Amino acid sequence: MNRRSFLTAATATALAPLLTSSRAFAQNAAIDYEALARIRLMGLNDSTSEVMNTASYMMDVLGPRLSGSPGIRKSGEWVVEKMKAWGLEGAALEPWPEDPTGTNNGFPRGWSNEKFYLHATTPNAFPITGMSLAWTPGTKGLVTGEAVLVTETNIQDLRAKHSGKLRGKWILPAAPVDMPAQWDPVARRFTPEQLDALEKYAVAPPGSAPAPRPAATVDRTPFFIAEGALGILMTNKGHGVVNVLGGHPLDPPDRQIPRVAIEAEHYGRIARSLMQGQPVTIEADIVNAWRDKPEMFNVVAEIPGSTKPDEIVIIGGHFDSWHASTGATDNGGACSSALEAMRLLRLSGATPKRTIRICLWNGEEQGLIGSRLYVAKHFGGVRGVPVKANPRGDIQPIKPAHAKFQVYFNLDNGAGSIRGVHCQGNRAIAPIFRDWLDPIRDLGATHISMRSTGSTDHASFDAAGLPGFQFIQDPLEYEPKTHHTNMDFFEALQPEDLRRNAVIMAHFALTAANIEDRLPRITR
């Protein structure tokens, strides 16, 4: 299916009154069909939706949101002011709890790239596309050196062949990438058969095997540092895409070496020239800035509940991104949809019984840090989070708010349209969510999966015994094009998908806030 395959916003709006039939209403009296109709009317119309304006300012004007960088703080402050203007309450940058280990919850130093220049000068001049890995040093001004291919992985072989020969050299630590053609379409939507398979299998389908773990390799970086190399050039995906992550913020800058991810095509050209016996000279001027103990935070705001204000429904996704692009599909687009959902809820005049809160997380890319700290602080039941009252990080006592928590809905699988919900193995909640999907099936949200997904912030709630769920999303171009790459810009966002996602998130949040009973839980 393509993105035109769903009903248009105008058609969906026209059908909204039909959703108030007695049959649909009887399925779940918690659904506020009048509010949903207003939310759809505003949220699906290009002229009244603000989701793309929010996304454009966040990505185009404010830029990357690397955890601990000035960029994420600047973006967070802007979002807080927007939420205040929309009438949300408690809009703030909520600080992370104090860390008794002295490592600032894993961020003893912040980092940002302020200048990047990398260029081959001989035998032919050409610009090299790439970016520094986060939390690695830059060059000391403009530097020039020859490239050298170092494929030995055994320390003894390294010393025998390269000792005393790497000073002032750029290291290419592997052979060129073998790059097959891209035979399949890069962008995809889930087919009906694929969605049905998600419902059928609680685990991976029969016959599928787990991906093999890569063989352990020796860290050669200390050898390169000791030998006085200028830096390390590395590569990965190919087809113009550069996967750019980071070192580790715990690593002291004076014990590191510049590390740069570059295009596979450029890496291959350099490496093959060296294999042909042709020297290649590279010059660089890279400025990376460091800041001690940056203030770490999550971005929060809420709509207070009318009758059960101490019971909480949360929607959100991770706010942080990597730094080689502006983090549109990972995860600025989802944040924009969540923000738009809160704006639509406020404008719709809906009166949720429970408090609806938005939380945009910091430090997700470094291990769900922001959401784990938030759950530990507010609800307890978390293991491995050192806090002042629990410096060893043992499992924390359950707090009173744990019993009153209703649900968390997370959006973080690219910028594709929501197609349903992963239920984390919670079979009791599946028929409830299936009823909630009924009035929005025309938006493409149709399926319930029993699978337990991980690797994003709902897992922090799930691990603490709290209901936390990730939406099923169309993959689009997320893999292999935009996920953690230099191609993750505003252009990868699909306006219809983001508008649709905002309406669906608002609907799920409001219905969860109004349902009479607490949603069923499972014990982890």
Q: pLDDT by residue (tens digit) across 168-179?
A: 999 999 999 999
Residue 22 pLDDT exceeds 60? no
What sign for the dihedral angle of Cα 102, 105, 106, 111? negative
Picking from 376, 352, 346, 371, the residue whose alpha carbon sits closest to that of residue 361 is 371
Confidence (pLDDT) at 1: 36
Kindly report the number of other CB atoms within 10 A of residue 393's CB atom: 15
- Highest mean pLDDT (candidates 194-208, 248-262, 278-292): 278-292
pLDDT tens per residue across span 149-170? 999 999 999 999 999 999 999 9
Q: How far apart are CA 281 and CA 146, in angstroms?
A: 4
Give the residue-averaged pLDDT of 10-31: 45
pLDDT mean over 438-458: 96
Q: What is the CA radius of gyration of the chain?
A: 25
**In degrees rounded to 5, what are phi and psi of residue 258?**
-55, 130
Q: How far is CA 397 from CA 194, 372, 381, 382, 400, in A?
A: 41, 14, 6, 8, 10
pLDDT attached to residue 395: 78
Mean residue pLDDT across the chain: 91
Angle formed by the axes of helices 333-348 and 70-85, to 10°? 20
- 429 confidence band (pLDDT: 50, 70, 90): very high
**So what's the pLDDT on residue 354?**
98
Say how many residues make up the chain: 524
Query: CA–CA distance from 351 to each of 34, 35, 71, 347 (Å)?
Result: 12, 9, 35, 11
Q: What is the pLDDT of residue 222?
A: 93
d(CA 320, CA 331): 7
Give the mean model confidence (pLDDT) for residues 111-140: 97
**What is the tens place of the pLDDT at every residue in 219-228?**
899 999 999 9
Per-residue pLDDT band for 212 (boundaries 50, 70, 90) equals low
Q: How far apart are CA 509 and CA 342, in angstroms?
A: 9
Cis peptide before 390 (omega within 30 of 0): no
Query: What would the pLDDT profile of 78-112 be if each residue is shown by its tens digit?
Result: 999 999 999 999 999 999 999 988 999 999 999 99
**Which CA distances in Å does 405 have to 78, 150, 216, 265?**
28, 54, 42, 50
53-57, 118-122, 153-157, 281-285: least confidently modelled range:
153-157
Determine the pLDDT at residue 254.
80
Buried b (16+ CB within 10 A) or exposed e, 348-365: bebebbbbbbbbbbbbbb
Domains of the chain: 28-106+294-514 (3.40.630.10), 111-191+211-291 (3.50.30.30)
Q: Please state the φ and ψ torsions of residue 241, each to the nearest 5 degrees.
A: -100, 130
Neighbours of 371 (CB within 10 A): 29
Q: Is the pLDDT of residue 19 over 80?
A: no
Q: What percentage of the chain has pLDDT greater than the value 70?
A: 90
Residue 389 has pLDDT above 80, yes or no: no
Q: Can you tell me whether residue 334 is helix, strand or coil?
A: helix
Residues 289-309 have a mean pLDDT of 97
pTM of the model: 0.91
pLDDT for position 15: 38
Once rounded to an integer, what is the mean pLDDT over residues 53-69? 98
pLDDT at 252: 85
**pLDDT more than 90, % of the chain:** 82
User: Containing H/E element for 282?
Assistant: strand 281-292
**Three-class secondary structure of residue 448 per DSSP:** strand
Question: In the sheet where 468-473 sits, what is the strand order?
Answer: 89-95, 297-303, 354-361, 308-318, 405-410, 468-473, 418-422, 447-449
96 within 8 A of 298, measured Cβ to Cβ: yes
pLDDT score, position 3? 33
Distance CA 289, CA 136 (A): 10
Name the pairing type of β-strands 126-127 and 109-122: antiparallel
Residue 204: the pLDDT is 52
Q: Order of strands across the sheet with 281-292?
A: 126-127, 109-122, 281-292, 143-149, 170-172, 231-234, 259-262, 130-132
Looking at residue 21, its pLDDT comes to 36
Spatial distance between the Cα atoms of 113 and 135, rounded to a whole number of angstroms: 9
Residue with tokens 């744990």: 402
Q: What is the pLDDT of residue 248?
A: 84
What is the rounded end-to-end Cα distance, in angstroms, of the chain?
37
Mean pLDDT of 429-451: 97
